[in-house]
Structure 1
Amino acid sequence: MGFPACQPLHARHRHGPRRRHDPRTPRDRAKSAGLGLLAGLILALPAQADIKLATWDSGMSQRGPGLLLHRLTRQDGPEIEASLQVIEALDADILLLTDIDWDLRSQTLNALNARLKTPYPHVLALKPNTGIPSGLDLNHDGALAGPRDALAYGLFPGQSGMALLSRLPIGQPESFTDLLWRDLPGANLPPDLTEEEAALLPLSTSGHYVIPIDLGDKTLTLLAYAATPPVFDGPEDRNGRRNADETALWSRLLDGSLGTPPQAPFVVIGKPNLDPYDGDGIPAPILALMAQLQDPEPRGLAPPDGGNGDPALDTSRLKSGEGLRVDMILPSRDIEVTGAGVMWPAPNDPLTPLLEAASPHRPVWVTIAE
């Protein structure tokens, strides 16, 4: 698969990666042999840098091609304006947006970036499988067209894709987005999948991308994805199985059964679309992946909902009122995590109405030492 070039915007920024305050004051005391006096000299040591990673299901995807671009350029829609303000308030060094429409020339992403008060110097639009016609009756309803007969659910090609915005240079990504579902080692295929369908249907919904980020003296690798919801199907549990296998792909990559594992440091980032302890779906793959990596357990101020999981970890609220943790950042074990959180403020916080207008999801962030 080809990728559009990462597009630099030559702009000055308020800051780069954050600097972590070090409360220690190093001193070098020199003795003067002639005078026998002590002199203290404070050495100015460079502060250790923090890099803020974030992911957010922005809720910006529209119901037709070009509509999001139109709304961004015409400044049409309070929810779009709210999303832009949330992105600015999040102030991440590396931000993976999910549920944002993709187009071939990255016009939508460029328009979004241009609307920010401080645009990101590096952006990358990531093509999804959503809305691409399969030519087959994948949902077995007797018709050969419609969003459920696409390679992944979508009203049009490129609906609900992913985009990366970064203050650090983005390298050339690799993709597992074309991997056939049947070719995943240990694939949990639905029983009604025909041979013809299996020879065509990819595993990925919004994509699986391995993206290098240049930190100067080393590379941080992002394993980015957004899985299908594990619901809206029948007893064959096609979506539930696909959702689980979309997360299982990363475990297969890390254990070497799907090619060469990424070199550390790396971070799994995006939307598993599955709560490990609440809601529908098959939790075993996400629990296995969490056990392979670090779970910083980002917390916000989500209200209690009566679920099994800790509500402070929730990143989304369903219309039923149930809270779910469906967006995650999981660093490799060698990474020093310096902070983590969910942008879920108190009800009286000025950000709360913006978040509620933009999306049912809340941004998740993790800071790591450079």
Structure 2
Amino acid sequence: MYGSREEQGLEPLIRVATFNVALFGQSPTEISQRLRAIDHDDQIQHVLEVLVHANPDIVLINELDYDSSGEAARLLADQLSRSLSDFAPYKAHAFPSNTGMPTGMDLIGTGSLSSPENAQGFGLFPGQYGFALLSRYDVDAVRTFQTFLWRDMPNARLPDAKAGTGLGDYYSDKALAILRLSSKNHVDAHLTVEGIGGLHVLLSHPTPPVFDGPENRNGRRNADEIRFWADYLDDADYIVDDCGGSGGLVAAKKFVILGDLNADPQTGDSVPGAIQQLLKHPRVQDPRPTGAAGSNTARFRRAMRVDYVLPSSGLSVRKSGVVWLSKNDPLARLNTASDHHLVWVDLEMMP
């Protein structure tokens, strides 16, 4: 079975994963209510089965609605901990999201200030499509970049009112003064992991590069959201976090980039070269995880690779995979838990 933790044997490994679970609702409390009634929810049961099957030590959960109390993330972590009671329990870390956060402006001319397209990130309410980190290790420091403005990225791919002009004038100056780069959030969470030491997990979920027009505003934003991490690894001095701290991640630090990055290296609607900004970065290694559908991780109009676990080049990768099961696998029903599949990488814990 692809990704079963039993395949690890007794080797001292840490499993890091990302999983877009597609647990989003029409109201801020819907997912929490569903998680409290799990016995009557087939999708959540299947999501939990996938997570139990993979048994990650650290996992980013994309598309889990955020609430200010962190209840949804905590309920999911508690359910998973009970299902894996022979292992250390998970701690949940939920992060606020720009999705559904009103801008108070008609950014794209819909005629409605409250339309989801006019929020900081597409969403019906603040926190829809958010993300959370579940970890068996304590998070001892966090940097967030939720409020960083798109226009403050040097040479940002700002969309043109008339495609191809290069003027970056699709949004008004007033709009650019408030429009954030991150459609959800960009988070650097630091953990201390036995056998590895300090480990930065870099979390995000860039906007899909679709659902726009000839200006390609979402495709351009997606590419710059991905670029942010490439610049972060270059310790770019333009980067400022939500607490006013500047700069990125210095060269000696170990990291893993996690997330549904909504960009395939070979196909799809993303800006050409968008994901290569990370895949070809000298500090990044690509384990190229595979499952029953090869390297693909999601099912849209066609199968695509959009979900990534990308360790720093100095970390020792032992195994990797995608929990995309063959149709003859006894657990093949888990393929329908989400339109995405869990991606995992096993890192060697050095003595």
TM-score scaled by length of structure 1: 0.82
Higher mean alpha-carbon deviation, 162-171 vs 71-80, is at: 71-80
Match of 2:286 among 276, 284, 295: 295
Give the deviation of 1:128 after TM superposition. 1.0
- Partners of 2:296 and 2:7 in 1: CA distance: 28
Equivalents in 1 of 2:341, 2:254: separation in Å? Answer: 26
The SS at the match of 2:274 is: helix
Match of 2:122 in 1: 153
User: Which residue of the other structure, out of 62, 66, 70, is the alignment partner of 1:98?
Assistant: 62
User: What CA deviation, in whole Å up to 9, does each residue of 1:164-220 have, x standing for no partner?
Assistant: 111111122101121101111221111211101101011111211001111146201
Residues 53 and 367, structure 1, Cα contact 8 Å, conserved in 2: yes
Tell me the residue number matched to 2:163.
none
Residue 51 of structure 1 is matched in structure 2 by 14
Question: Are the counterparts in 2 of residues 185 and 252 from structure 1 also a CA contact under 8 Å?
Answer: no
Number of the residue aligned with 1:329: 309
In the other structure, the counterpart of 2:299 is 317
| Structure-2 residue corresponding to 1:171 | 140
5 Å-filtered alignment, 1:270-281, equals 270-281=259-270
1:265 aligned residue (237, 254, 260): 254
Q: Is the 8 A contact 1:177 1:202 kept in 2?
A: yes
Larger radius of gyration: 1
Where do 5+ consecutive residues of structure 1 fail to align?
Answer: 1-16, 22-46, 303-311
| CA contact 1:86–1:351 (8 Å) conserved in 2 | no
Q: 1:300 touches 1:344 (CA, 8 Å); kept in 2?
A: yes
The answer to whether the 8 Å contact 2:262/2:270 transfers is no
Cα distance between partner residues in 2 of 1:62 and 1:196: 31
The alpha-carbon distance between structure 1 residues 102 and 147, as it changes in their structure 2 partners (threshold 3 A), is same
Distance 1:324 1:282 in 2: 15
| Counterpart Cα distance in 1 of 2:11 and 2:153 | 40
Q: Distance in 1 between matches of 2:215 and 2:67?
A: 33
Query: Which residues of 2 match residues 111-126 of structure 1 at below 5 A?
Result: 111-116=75-80, 117-118=83-84, 120-126=89-95
Offset, 1:352? 1.8
1:215 aligns with 2:193: yes
Between the aligned partners of 1:296 and 1:283, the Cα distance in structure 2 is 21
The answer to whether the 8 Å contact 1:18/1:52 transfers is no
Please tell me whether the aligned partners of residues 83 and 355 of structure 1 are also in contact (alpha carbons under 8 angstroms): no
The 8 Å contact of residues 58 and 97 in structure 1, kept in 2 or not, is answered as: yes
Give the aligned partner of residue 35 of structure 1: none
8 A contact 2:256–2:311 mirrored in 1: yes
Contact residue 77 and residue 90 of structure 2 kept, 8 A: no
Per-residue CA deviation, residues 271-314 of structure 1 (Å, 9 max, x unaligned), is 11010111111132311211111010000111xxxxxxxxx110
Greater Cα offset, 81-90 or 98-107: 81-90
| Equivalent residues of 1:206, 1:227 under 8 A apart | yes
How many angstroms apart in 2 are the aligned matches of 1:224 and 1:268?
Answer: 6
Tell me the residue number matched to 1:61: 24
Q: Report which stretch shifted further, 275-284 or 261-270.
A: 261-270
Given that residues 19 and 48 in structure 1 are in contact (C-alpha distance below 8 angstroms), is that contact kept between their aligned partners in structure 2? no
Deviates most, 53-62 or 78-87: 78-87
Percent of aligned pairs sharing the same letter? 37
Within 5 A, what are the aligned runs for 1:1-370?
49-75=12-38, 76-116=40-80, 117-118=83-84, 120-191=89-160, 192-216=170-194, 218-257=197-236, 258=239, 259-262=247-250, 263-292=252-281, 293-302=284-293, 312-318=294-300, 320=301, 322-356=302-336, 358-370=337-349
CA RMSD of aligned residues (A): 1.8
Give TM-score scaled by structure 2 length.
0.86
More deviation in 187-196 or 109-118? 109-118
How many residue pairs get aligned? The number is: 317
Shift of residue 82, structure 1, vs aligned partner: 1.2
Distance 2:264 2:232 in 1: 22
SS at match of 1:59: strand
Give the corresponding residue for 1:37: none
Question: Per the alignment, do residues 172 and 137 of structure 1 end up closer, same or farther by CA in structure 2, a change over 3 Å counting?
Answer: same
Letter in 1 for 2:264: D
- Asked which structure has the greater RCO (Cα within 8 Å, sep 6+), the reply is 2
> How big is the shift at 1:367?
0.5
**1:52–1:84 distance in 2 versus 1, CA, 3 Å:** same
Aligned-partner residue type, residue 295 of structure 1: D
**CA positional deviation for 1:351:** 2.3
C-alpha displacement of 1:48: 5.7
**Structure 1 residues 118-127 or 55-64, which shifts more?**
118-127
The answer as to whether partners of 1:229 and 1:239 remain within 8 angstroms in 2 is: yes
* Matched residue type, 1:171: D
